[in-house]
């Protein structure tokens, strides 16, 4: 054997085991890619599949509610476990299941066999279409569209179910939220409810057999972390303790809404203006309220509820009938160049006016919605720049009561006097 043949044979002996090893390795990888393996083990992982379709999806009118719909469904009969249910709504057939029409997200509760959701925000008396989907990390599976035409006036929201008061409230001047004089006192006896407060319950929303508060309806429940909650804005009705504060000066802290200073505001923004008045009760004094919990949703579609447990509060919200709101555009020197709004409480009714409101959390706030894009600005005034929002307590309100509230301090704004506070906001172009 010459030298070249000896070298070739040596290389063949070296490369043959290597080739076998490579072939075995490639075969092993191929088997693994197909889900195979040896000795009962595998190094592969299978991607999570999307859940099945939610079952028994139905939409019906809400009992006792106008412009309101109750959605109900059950978990998928097959497929992987969903982590949430997504609700979509549209007034155009065949378009509901779209990110533009997403309404709310509801987390899955282990062991829960049925779900319901009351939709009573922004509905109109027209044919409306809903979809509920089951969703997890593997994907999202929608139901078929279900249609229902809400019963009620041509536009607006649910007029039967408002929010329940969950935080103690003092009526500083002896007038209720609608400007009517208060004559009664707080209690749980339905027969002695003073409807002039403007608080729930409303006479038509309680069963005739209900004699005491709270009324916690089993049809309005939501199970969260093993606890049953009764949802806000439904037939369930409770009322935190309130008091007629006329005759005693109420010393309050005024708090402007966080969004006015924390969010970017532009010339096309819808700006929610809120200010709340709260006071510390005298030492040794408490008023009762109801514990609240955020159940699902965020911002406009958030739903909160109570487990029905009352608590003793050392603070209370204050409603002053003499509330007045003014919104001005300032120039670079701080001079007023345009006034967008200037009115006392009850100076007008409905959207576009200052209102005293019970929030989704059951607290009380003064609220106003400033639609920047709808302002009729003079040609020499731009929306961008500094706007001053001023809240004051004066005697120009329709009920013309003497001022019985003193602002001692302010959160998120500036204290001008014991009856006035303002906040400056910056609006971008």
Confidence of residue 331 (pLDDT cuts 50, 70, 90): very high
- Supply the mean pLDDT for the chain: 85
Kindly report the backbone phi and psi dihedral angles of residue 3, in degrees, each rounded to the nearest multiple of 5, phi listed first: -65, -35
Confidence of residue 10 (pLDDT cuts 50, 70, 90): very low
Q: What is the DSSP annotation of 57-125?
A: EEEEEPTT-SS-EEEEEE--SSBBPPSEEEEEEESSTT--SSGGGEEEEEE--TT---EEEEE-SS--S
Note the pTM of the prediction, 2 decimals: 0.71
Q: How far is CA 145 from CA 61, 101, 135, 190, 367, in A?
A: 16, 13, 16, 41, 36
Cα–Cα nearest to 163, from 369, 363, 413, 380: 363
Q: Which of 4-13, 189-198, 389-398 has the highest mean pLDDT?
A: 189-198
pLDDT score of 312: 98
Q: How distant is the alpha carbon of residue 270 from its chain centre?
A: 16
| Domains identified in the chain and CATH numbers | 55-148 (2.60.40.10), 162-429 (no CATH)
Number of Cβ atoms within 10 Å of the Cβ of 241: 22
**Between these two residues, 197 and 33, which has the higher pLDDT value?**
197
Tell how many helices (H) and how many strands (E) occur in the chain.
Answer: 2, 26
DSSP letter, residue 178? T
pLDDT score of 168: 98
Exposure string (b/e) for 38-54, b if CB count within 10 Å is 16 or more? eeeeeeeeeeeebbbbb
pLDDT score of 123: 78
Confidence of residue 202 (pLDDT cuts 50, 70, 90): confident
Kindly report the backbone phi and psi dihedral angles of residue 33, in degrees, each rounded to the nearest multiple of 5, phi listed first: -65, -25
pLDDT in tens, 97-156: 999 898 888 889 888 899 988 887 777 888 999 999 999 999 999 999 999 998 865 444
Average pLDDT value for residue range 356-360: 94
Confidence of residue 299 (pLDDT cuts 50, 70, 90): low
């Amino acid at each position: 054997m010459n030298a070249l043949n000896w070298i070739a044979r040596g290389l063949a002996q070296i490369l043959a085991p290597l080739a076998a090893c490579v072939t075995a390795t490639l075969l092993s990888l191929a088997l693994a890619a197909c889900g195979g393996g040896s000795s009962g083990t595998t190094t592969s992982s299978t991607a999570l599949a999307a859940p099945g379709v939610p079952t028994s999806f139905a939409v019906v009118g809400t009992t006792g509610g106008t412009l309101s719909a109750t959605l109900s469904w059950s978990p998928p009969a097959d497929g992987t476990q969903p982590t949430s249910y997504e609700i979509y709504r549209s007034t155009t057939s065949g378009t509901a299941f779209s990110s533009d029409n997403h309404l709310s997200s509801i987390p899955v509760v282990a062991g829960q066999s049925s779900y319901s959701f009351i939709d009573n925000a922004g509905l109109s008396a027209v044919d409306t279409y809903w979809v509920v989907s089951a969703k997890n990390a593997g994907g999202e599976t929608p139901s078929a569209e279900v249609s229902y035409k809400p019963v009620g006036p041509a536009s607006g929201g649910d007029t039967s179910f408002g929010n329940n008061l969950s935080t103690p409230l003092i009526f500083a001047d002896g007038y209720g939220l609608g400007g009517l004089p208060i004559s009664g006192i707080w209690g749980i006896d339905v027969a002695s409810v003073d409807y002039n407060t403007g608080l729930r319950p409303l006479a038509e929303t309680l069963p005739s057999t209900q004699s005491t508060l709270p009324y916690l309806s089993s049809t309005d429940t939501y199970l969260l972390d093993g606890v049953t909650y009764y949802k806000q804005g439904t037939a369930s009705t409770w009322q935190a303790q309130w008091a007629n504060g006329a005759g005693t000066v109420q010393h309050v802290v005024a708090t402007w809404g966080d969004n006015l200073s924390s969010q970017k505001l532009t010339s096309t923004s819808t700006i929610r203006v809120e200010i709340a008045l709260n006071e510390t009760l005298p030492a040794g004094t408490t008023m009762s309220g109801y514990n609240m919990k955020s159940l699902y949703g965020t911002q406009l579609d958030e739903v909160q509820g109570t487990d029905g447990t009352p608590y003793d509060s050392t603070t209370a919200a204050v409603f002053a009938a003499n509330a007045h709101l003014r919104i001005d555009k300032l120039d670079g020197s701080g001079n007023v160049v345009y006034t967008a709004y200037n009115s006392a409480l009850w100076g007008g009714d409905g959207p576009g006016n200052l209102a005293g409101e019970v929030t989704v959390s059951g607290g009380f706030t003064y609220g106003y919605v400033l639609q920047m894009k709808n302002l009729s600005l003079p040609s020499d005034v731009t929306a961008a720049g500094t706007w001053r929002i001023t809240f004051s307590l004066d005697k120009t309100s329709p009920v013309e009561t003497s001022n019985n509230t003193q602002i001692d301090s302010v959160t998120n704004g500036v204290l001008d006097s014991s009856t006035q506070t303002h906040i400056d906001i910056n609006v971008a172009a």
